[in-house]
Chain A
Amino acid sequence: MIVPFIKGFANTFKHMFRKPISVNYPDEKVPTFPRYRGKQVLMRDENGLEKCVACGLCAVACPADAIYLEAAENNGTVQAGPRYAELYQIHKTRCIFCGYCEEACPVSAIFMGKDYELAVYSNQDFIWDKTELLVAAPGTPPASQAR
């Protein structure tokens, strides 16, 4: 009757001398592993041009219908190829972070990033547009980090 209790409490007592495993979030961040699928990033090529050619394959592959994009011809004012996505939006509340967009993209323009702190204060901010997805072009101020 009493022996199992002694065994059990000995077990919990031992735990008092173990290193705590809890993490002081948000002061300490939990590191992600290399394959982590977080908020997407749109890439630029080595010349600083936007890689995305607005083919729309990612939007078709997306099982959650989270991607909306509008293609446009480049008139030379944008740091991009001849055809680029004028509007590229990912709807955060729809996206399930499956990574199919990354897999579908023929030119490797979109990647799953590492950012997992996605809470926002306003429902307007649930849509990521290019200012938040696109990596900064060399020589331009960094794209908005606002969430």
Chain B
Amino acid sequence: MEITELTVKEIVEKIKKKEIGVKETVLAYLKNIEDKDNNIKAFLSINNEEALIKAEELDKENEKNGQIFGIPVAIKDNINVYGTETTAGSKILKGYISPYDATVVKKIKEQNGITIGKTNCDEFAMGSSTENSAFFNTKNPVNTDYVPGGSSGGSAASVAANEAAAAFGSDTGGSIREPAGFCGIVGLKPTYGRVSRYGLIAFGSSLDVIGPLAKNVEDAAILTNVIAGFDHKDETTANLPVENYTDFLKRGIKGKKLGVIKEINDFKIQDEVSITLKEAINKLEIQGCEIEEVSIPHLKYALPTYYLVAPSEASSNLSRFDGVRYGLQGCGDNLRDFYEDTRTKGFGREVKRRILIGTFALSEGYFDEYYLKASKVRRLIAMDFEKAFEKVDALILPTTATTAFKFNEKKNPLEMYMSDIFTIPMNLAGIPAISIPFGKDNKGLPIGIQIVGKWFEEGEIFQISYALEQSKES
């Protein structure tokens, strides 16, 4: 078996047993990138020199410490990595070299992981197909006629194409889970506040979470171990102890109560996806899980709520891109013209659309009707989940209503927004959710199943999703 086909856990074990070297590992991945990425285009930049230097250093170490010792990981380009170009998929940050490491990157480095490159994404993480990247499209490694999903499309594709052992992305409305589902890998959106956002270029600050994309549930658990925890640089992180998530994997699920959301039937779901969901439920039942129907009455309001809250925050978060201190700089005879020129040239269509929506929703006279009302509905959605979790331990539903679509297939933005109907509610509520690949449609495109847990109970969803993953083989 090629090194690049191994899981994170396997590679770390082999390195620690000195069966393979770190440099050898990194070179194997760099080779894969060289061979495949002209076609897949998962990466915006490759950190090969630094990666090899680090690999050589690690090979010299006698004590092979660190949960991801020597593992080449890909980082979504909206996460700051010291000394590397960090663009968030936007022209406005083309050429911007970050002077600091995001907290997650610091943690990855502390565990001796190696950041091998920065992955493509929808501009400022706004999109569901990575087609909104200002630079190029990323292809779905499963079938290159299809999108990899988004906005963490590059991260998902890099793992699916074995160009990285694992990757990190960000999820504001499904941006980890949807591409993981489309590319047939595992992706976790942790609880809001479980992972530091320091160094993540903000999109919707109250929704954004960094999480792992990996080949399997166990790897995802290991990567979550690496990045989770309180950060004094992010006041929205929770000061709660972090459990060892790998401990949960093999506990079994006998007696676990799993909820099926009644309201998902109100949405149009691809037949194969519905069938796969039933199969997944069936497999879990066989292992002793109890299934119960639960209701999230406000589910249908999740999408409109999200498209007020997220753009509102984004319109403010993106104000700092004014051409004054860094990034693309326009010109103009006065301040207003200068800003206009900078931002007209720097931002893409979807980003502009969301800035406009957000600016409107926050404007005097509209604030109450839009932003405030959306915030209230958001609370109702969270309360719906809270109520459901009184009855069940976790929820199960498809990650997306359909499998991956083709490039340029979704021309209407609303149609594109609909891709996230099953992932957005969890961001609004702040609860953790994992997408794991389970079956394929008749075109061979992967289907993602989502397991959703209570606040800060990532362990629980690792436990259930691991069982589901194992059941595929049986």
Do the two chains bind? no
Interface residues of A (CB under 8 A from B): none
Residue numbers of B with Cβ under 8 A of A are none
